[in-house]
Each structure stands twice: as C-alpha cells, then as structure tokens.
Structure 1
Amino acid sequence: MQYQRLRPSLLAPALIAGLAAACGSSSNDRPLDASPAPPSDSGSAADAAPPDGTVSTACQSPFTVTPDQNAEANATAALLALSPTATMTWAPARGTLSSIQGLVVELPTCTGSVNAYDLFLNYLAGSPALFQIDPTEWSTSTLPCSEILANGFHTLVIHRVSYGPFPLDNDVFSVVADVQNGTAVFRNFSGVYIPPPTAAMVATLQGCHAIDVLTGVLSTPFSYQIFAPPPAAQCTAAGVGSYTVTPADTVTLDPAVRMRWEESSVVTIHPESTATLVVAPANYTAQLEGSDANCTDLDGNPHIGWVRTFDAFTGNVLYDHRSPDPYCTVCLK
C-alpha cells in the first residue's frame, strides 16, 4: 500500500461522550445500496442558540457573497491615480483584483531594520478602493529592509486569518520586493481573496452559533475505495465500500468553526467544523485494511478512519478525508 504522510496527525481534543447511545447498534461494511439515516434535527445549540436546536433563518448557511457592483470601477480609478500606465486583472466573482502589472512603488523609508511587511500592509491599507484589504484580518511576518537592499528580489506573502468573527484560510496576497536604482521597491502585486465582510454580513455571522448536530453528521455512512490484493498491482481499484460508525469506535470533534469559500459564478462561504472517526481494531476487516481509509504507520500498523467536514450551522456533510490523519493520503499515483 502506498501512502504519503504529510504532517503528524493532529486530532481534536474533545472526545464525544455518549456515542453508544447516539449510534445504537449498527453493522460494519454497510452494503453499497444502503440508504443513509436522515440527519438529526434535534440537539442543544451552543452559546445560547435556540432551545430546540434549530438555527435562525439568517444563519442558514452557506452564505453567498455578492460583490459591490462599483468595486471594479472604483479600483480602476484608484489604480489610475497611483500610476497612469499600470494595468489590472480583475476577478469578477470575487470582486477583487487578481494582479497588477506596471505598478512600481518606491520605498524610501525601507532601510535598516524597518520591517518590509509593515510597509506592505500600510500600503495596502492606504488604497482601500484598489486593494480592499483590512490589515487586521491578515497575518504578518518580519523581513528587515536591509535584507532586501542587500540581496534584492524577495516575495512577501500574507494570508487571511479571519473573516469577520470567524477564522478563514483561503486568502493569500503577495508582492515582490526588489531594489531599483539603490532604493527598495514593491512591484507585481497579486492575490486570490474576497473583500472584507460588509457590516450586515458581520452582524449575521455574530448571531450564528454552531449547533449539536453530531448524531446526524455521523449517521451518514463513510465510503472508502477498496484496492485489490496481490498479485494485483498496488492501488488497483476493486470497488467501493461503506462503513457505519459503531459504539466501539472513537470520535473526536474539533469545536472550532472556520470559514472556507469556493468560487463559481459566485462566491459561496461555508462555516466548517470537523469530526474524526477512528475505527476500533475489533471492527477491522480485510476490505478496510486494504482501502484508502487505512493510513499505515511507519511500523506497518493500520490506522483506519475518516475526517468528516460538515457545515457547523446546519450539520450538512460537506466532504470526507479518508484516513484519520488529515495529512495522510493513501495510494498516490
């Protein structure tokens, strides 16, 4: 079996109690045509959510972000004020720029121990119509200007850490720091990101709460790819199996809610939480051990399970990672 362990496993700290009562009796390796049990509509909401476990209409996620219709025109005008020859590539669904060509920003104060990242964030904040970046929502780092002046080309990269009251991981923005005529400059601005949330969106998100939907989340069976045993070649697909959680298994819940957006003709934001299922060794079968749900460690010991990502506000299952280690992918080809 081929696998790749990208980083050590980081399982969530909160063990879900009462799993036996929630799951009842169930069978392993559920038939492929078995219908998933319907998600539970009941449960106690966290942080003073409604007592019946429901979510207010405003929190019916996912959320759709509609760009400001004037954003591109405002950004174009702001860029023209900075440089009449610079050009911009626009991402219409996101409502933000993708890249700027021809804009060179001289940095006469970039000397010695001055942090180039501070200058970068200050410059972005100084043109909100063009960049639409709130520095308080983004990470920073440290790069002394002396490094740029001594060595020239550096790429400065910042990452979005929050969207309103919740963490967000998608967004990235970068610039090249270089030296021109003995002075540090910024050039080649580019990014993949969405604008800061509107006041109305922040108010909506502040009123949202993760609810107790774990029973419903776990009621949907977990699928896995079966691989043919030797003498077949490694990672030869041999069907798909399905597993239903049992009281003997271990489930951990990561209570954190993180935002993740996806782009089509519009941007859709999902509030995500994860639950990790580790299958009890007593429930191992030959199919499970020969599947992509089994991340074998360096000593050859099997570790079978899944990391399930679900909508924290509705309990809808979004996607599964096969194997209990989120950084292990089985049978890469």
Structure 2
Amino acid sequence: MSTYIPVIGITMGDAAGVGPEVVVKSLTHAQVYEQCRPLVIGDARRLEHAIVICQLDMDVRRIADPSQARYERGTIDVIDLELIPEDLPFGELSPLAGDAAYRYIARAVELAQAKQIDAICTAPLNKEALHAGGHKYPGHTEMLAHLTGVDEVSMMLVAPQLRVIHVTTHIGIIDAIRKIEPGLVQRTIERGNATLVKAGIAKPRIGVCGINPHAGENGLFGYGEEEEKIIPAVKLLQERGLDVTGPLPADTLFFRAGRGDFDLVVAMYHDQGHGPVKVLGLEAGVNVTVGLEVIRTSVDHGTAFDIAGKGVVDEGSMLEALRQGAELATRR
C-alpha cells in the first residue's frame, strides 16, 4: 500500500516582502517533495522575479486548478492570481500587496474546503499592508478563522524543543488580562491537547503559565487572577483525565519544558509565549493554527522588508513549516 503524500497549498504572502524568495528557495530542496506535493497560490511573475534574485535554476508553471499540477522538483506549480505588477518594489509597504496576500489566503481556503488541498502553509504577510489593502484582521490566525467560519482558534508555536499554545494573541496586555477567563483557558488547553494526540502523543503533558510573576505567589502579586481565571479550568481538565499542571511561574516553566518535562506550554498572552520560542531562533519556529478544519502552518518570521529582494533570506522556517504541515495533514 502506497503512503499518501498530502497536497500543501503554499500562499506567497506579501509580494513586497521575503515571501516569494522563501517559497522558491524552499522548493529547491528534495526533502520537500518527499514529504508533500507543494502547490503555490500566488503570482507567477513575482516567483520568476524571486528565482532570478536568488540565482536559482527553476521554472514556474501556471495552472488554473490543482488537478493540472505535476509536482516535479525544478518546476513550481502555481495557481496564478496575476495581482502583482512587474514593477512593484521590494521592501516597501504596498496596499496592493496587502490585498493580494489576503486573496491568496482566500483562494487557499476555498481549495481546502473543496478538499483539493490537505493543508495550508503560509509565507509571511504584513499587517499594516493588509489593513491598507482593506482587510482589517490582526493577522493570519484571525483571518483564517473568519474565512472558515470558525468562532475561535488558537495559535501554537512549535520549535525543536518547545511547543507553546496561546490563550490570547494579538491584543494589548491589559485587554489580554481582561479577556482571559476559565472557559477560554479550558478550550485553549483542549485544542492543544487534541492537536498533540492527533500528532501521535497519546497523553500530552501540559504546563500552564500564570499571568503574574511567580504565578501570583498565593496572592502576593496581582489581584487573584490565577485563582479566578486559570485554576478552575485546570482543575476541571484534571478531573477529566488530562495531564495538566499549573498555573506555574512562566520563567521556570519554559526552562522545564525545554528540557523535556512538558509536551506543551500554555501561554496567557502574546509575548509570554513568543519570547522564549524566538530566543531559540526565528528559523527554528513554526506557527500552527489550532482549531481550524484544515491544518495551517506558517513561518514564524515577518516580511523582513529590510532584506526583501536581496536573495539572502533563510528558508529554514519554511522548510520546517512544510514538514510540520505534511506531518499533521497525514496523521489527520
């Protein structure tokens, strides 16, 4: 019996950023074609431009439908939306590129819902350009939730020695503390647990961060946020048989998770989770959207306008995102 090789829709991201270069560089690697069948959703001319910039020997093949793809290394199959003018500069904020980045995602969602692709892997978009292009989303995660009609999703960052799921993401710290409540904490932990079970970890060990320093230290810090917002969810899930510990001081929890004590850390707000992962290296991290009907992974770096168009971007994070996407899609 042959092993199914999933089709992964790769969205090109913001055309003025490093997305086109990251995509073409990653598709030079033989391992990608062993793991998945990569289908780019973007602009063919921009990819051709990126191939020249990166001094690669590749072709771009324009197709209208996934059924026309050949998935041969050396030729990039692209569903060409033809949205980017040839003279669009790299490294400059563009409403046109922001709108195009949204349209690539929207097309990928349509293909996923039609079961023509098995997962989505996203190159970076620029939030300011996205907003200037008329799409008022904080980022990919929220946009995908809206496009797929899902009320609530979670962001999980995966690095070689660390997995972190976030209770809140793209909101200010005061708003985050206000938003955190036992139901949201519970659902976030359940989504993370379900994802790891699907990925082959039978009983994930989950460590939950506190909000305050030292997880409040029995009321010494803060105003009882841990007791009010986190502990009820942890107790409920423990009673249901999940291996959940917390709330724990975030500083030591990340250290313990890094040495292997936990399979997943639950961070309460954006920087609490992002900081430790990014210390491990931007090229090592992958962003996974948890709770969608379709698997979505992403590079864990931005559009890098300062180096866009120079051919120097590292494709390591995209390679890891494709690997994770293929693995999760296959297991699903």
TM-score by length of 1: 0.23
Quick check: which one's helix share is greater? 2
State the structure with more CA Rg.
1
Quick check: which one's strand share is greater? 1
